[in-house]
Amino acid sequence: MAYQFNWSIFGHKNQLKFLQNIVNSGNLANTYLFYGSRGLGKKYTVNYFVQSIFCQDDKIRPCQKCHHCRLVKKNTFLDLYRLGKQGQSLSADELRYFLHKLSLSNVSGDRKIAIICGGENINLFAANALLKTLEEPPRQTTIILISDDINSLPATVISRCQLIKFKSLNTNDMEKWLKHFDFSEQEKETIINLSFGKPGRALKLMEDKLEKFKQSCDFIIKLLSGSTFYYMQTIDKWFDVLKKEYPNFKVYELGDLTKEYLDLFELFLRDLLWIKLDRPITNVLYVDQLKRIAPQFTKDDLLNNLLSLNEMRQKLKYNVSPQLLWENLFLNVK
Ligand SMILES: [Zn+2]
């Protein structure tokens, strides 16, 4: 039986074909491991895959209309088990309890499927519990692991799984996907440049129509175009506000709050350097502003600062005052 598939997923062509063949054949392995960096759409794809397996329609999978489709969507389908959230770690107890429950539960249909997210953060004890289940899987059960970082999973677990690797989308696929969103061409180009083929990252940028991103960019531009005095004053005010807002925060926690700006600062320094070297920049949305302030900086200064930024990131980890760090950062640039 060959179904029609209406998975609204861009890119990952081979992976989709592979999974859809499984749905067609009904031949499921005991364990799959979906892996690849965060934001590529692994979980999103798993949802379509699982829904298509449970769907009862003869032609289209998933039909989104049948009883099973609706239950899966509401996450109340009896044969579907889920554990964990992406990016959050799983404790050994949580995992053990989940696997125990899974082994005892009955199957109401043909098979049960368990989706385990965040498997990369499990410790040795949890890994052992998982390995035991993978070695002797409960009857009629398929386990799907989703991992952002396969390198942190024990080799013994990986070797038991059928691997499905997710890679970054190419620019072409990103462009096709972004056609469905209401953004200017320049905005789209910036989103593509900044999301590195990861739809999840692009969605994060787009969730507020780039509002937060633009605000942060304006702030950095202001910092870079103002005088040293203005800069120092702003940094001072900025940290005053942070300290008031988070009175109990430790130094490194304030540092965490400014990390995002550090990334953006790096982006601006790199784009400024690229303008001087006549290379295409990343943040095309700000090309005019960047060109306007570029003459204030020398190539050497920009390059040296980019090199020292990494060092600064390291220092943030070791409790160096983030305010001091920002001050030094700027004194070096100017
Ligand atoms: Zn259905």
**Per-residue model confidence as pLDDT tens digits over 261-273:** 888 999 999 999 9
CA of 115 to the centre of ligand 1 (A): 19
The pTM of the full predicted model, rounded to 2 decimals, is: 0.83
And the tokens for 76?
A: 């109340």
Q: How far apart are CA 276 and CA 302, in angstroms?
A: 10
More confident residue, 331 or 56: 56
pLDDT (average), residues 222-235: 85
CA of 114 to the centre of ligand 1 (A): 19
Residues lying with their CB under 5 A of ligand 1, a single-atom ion = 55, 57, 62-63, 66, 69
CA of 24 to the centre of ligand 1 (A): 14
CA of 21 to the centre of ligand 1 (A): 17
144 - beta bridge partners? 32, 115
CA of 73 to the centre of ligand 1 (A): 10
CA of 13 to the centre of ligand 1 (A): 22
**Per-residue model confidence as pLDDT tens digits over 127-165:** 888 899 999 888 899 999 999 989 888 888 999 999 999
Residue 334 in this model has a pLDDT that exceeds 80: no
List strand residue ranges (DSSP E) for 27-126, in order: 31-35, 60-61, 80-83, 112-117
pLDDT (average), residues 92-117: 90
Contact 297, 333 (CB under 8 A): yes
CA of 66 to the centre of ligand 1 (A): 4
Cβ burial 92-121 (10 Å sphere, 16+ → b, else e): beebbebbeebeeeeeeeeebbbbbbbbbb
Comparing 42-51, 106-115, 125-134, 216-225, the range with the smallest average pLDDT is 125-134
CA of 55 to the centre of ligand 1 (A): 4
Query: Percent of the chain at pLDDT above 70?
Result: 98
Q: Which CATH number fits domain 210-333: 1.10.3470, 1.20.272, 2.60.40, 3.30.870?
A: 1.20.272
CA of 62 to the centre of ligand 1 (A): 5
Domain range summary for the chain, segments of one domain joined by +: 4-165, 210-333
CA of 6 to the centre of ligand 1 (A): 11
Residue 87 in this model has a pLDDT that exceeds 70: no
- Under DSSP, is residue 82 helix (H, G, I), strand (E, B) or coil? strand
Identify the band that residue 218 occupies on the pLDDT scale cut at 50, 70 and 90.
very high
Contact 211, 302 (CB under 8 A): no
CA of 67 to the centre of ligand 1 (A): 7
CA of 59 to the centre of ligand 1 (A): 9
Helix crossing, 211-225 with 228-245: angle to 10°? 140
CA of 71 to the centre of ligand 1 (A): 10
Contact 37, 48 (CB under 8 A): no
The winner for highest mean pLDDT among 237-241, 249-253, 266-270, 323-327 is 266-270
Q: What is the DSSP track for 19-46?
A: HHHHHHHT---SEEEEESSTTSSHHHHH
Pairing of strands 112-117, 80-83: parallel
Q: What is the DSSP track for 194-229?
A: HHTT-HHHHHHHHTTTTHHHHHHHHHHHHHHHS-HH
- Residue whose token pair is 């997710």: 166
* Level-2 CATH architecture, domain 4-165: 3-Layer(aba) Sandwich (3.40)
CA of 113 to the centre of ligand 1 (A): 16
CA of 54 to the centre of ligand 1 (A): 7
Determine the pLDDT at residue 1.
67
CA of 60 to the centre of ligand 1 (A): 8
